[in-house]
Amino acid sequence: MNLWKRLLNLLLPPRCIKCGKILSEKNALCADCFKQINFIGKPFCHCCGTPFKSEKNLKFAKKQLCANCLKQKRHLFSLQRSCFVYDDFSKSLIINLKFNDCTADAETLAAMLYNAGKDIWDDQPDILIPVPLHKKRLLKRKYNQSALLVKYLSARTFIKADYLSLIRQENTIPQVQLKGKARRNNLKHAFAVAKPQNIKNKKVVLVDDVMTTGSTLNECAKVLLKNGAAAVYSLTLARTED
């Protein structure tokens, strides 16, 4: 470690992004907090990433699909992956990222996204696209947490980040305030592709913080495929348990 770095570490020691405990490494979680994250590990559906429950001792085929994916002839997403389950603990991590200007957290969380996306990287995608925020909300919040994740993910994977091609058109009501059909209607026509030439014949990875019903990601994927994307993948930090 050079002198400058050592001095900086003395003045501003790295802390756990969750509990604030002083750490030896920069931008990470302490062991206690790390243990509390409910990571999504194998076995899960090779296509949609849904974990297979209560069958931990059963042997699964390498690319096992869930009943839902087996039923579908055409898949909107080539693959979907998430790092961890959306629960009280991960919720607070994501809220920090979203509202408290904890932009340094994005680097740690992007490293987790990178690990969860292994099967996606094997397919050699061409671009990373964050689920966009509407201009008005972006002004209010100052940054898009998903774009921040994409920035660090792009630095790790050397895959191009594209912040301009997919846009959010209407200032929709936050999805969390709605349910079922109202959710889907709220999103219709919410997304558009501003620069179709950028995504034409490209394999696109959509990145977001949380997947709940998946309707936001679905709408984005539909619009991207309609505008010529060759394939769409989704990669999120958290997903709700069914």
Cα(206)–Cα(215) distance, integer angstroms: 13
Residue 228 in contact with residue 196, Cβ under 8 Å?
yes
**6, 13, 19, 188: which one contacts Zn ion (CB under 5 A)?**
19
Interface mask toward Zn ion for 88-107; x: CB under 5 A: --------------------
Is 45 one of the binding residues for Zn ion (CB under 5 A)?
Answer: yes
Q: Mark the segment that binds Zn ion (CB under 5 A) among 47-55, 110-118, 175-183, 220-228.
A: 47-55
Q: What values do phi and psi take at 208, rounded to 5?
A: -145, 170
Q: 114, 201, 208: which is closest to 158 by C-alpha?
A: 114
- The structure tokens listed for 102 are 């904890």
Q: Mark the segment that binds Zn ion (CB under 5 A) among 35-43, 68-76, 107-115, 219-227.
A: 68-76
Cα(139)–Cα(195) distance, integer angstroms: 22
**48, 187, 204, 232: which one contacts Zn ion (CB under 5 A)?**
48
Q: Mark the segment that binds Zn ion (CB under 5 A) among 44-52, 132-140, 141-149, 161-169.
A: 44-52
Length of the chain: 242
Smallest separation (angstroms) from Zn ion to the CB of 84: 15
The 10 Å Cβ neighbour count of residue 156 is 14
Is 18 one of the binding residues for Zn ion (CB under 5 A)?
Answer: yes
Residues forming the site for Zn ion (CB under 5 A)? 16, 18-19, 21, 30, 33, 45, 47-48, 66, 69
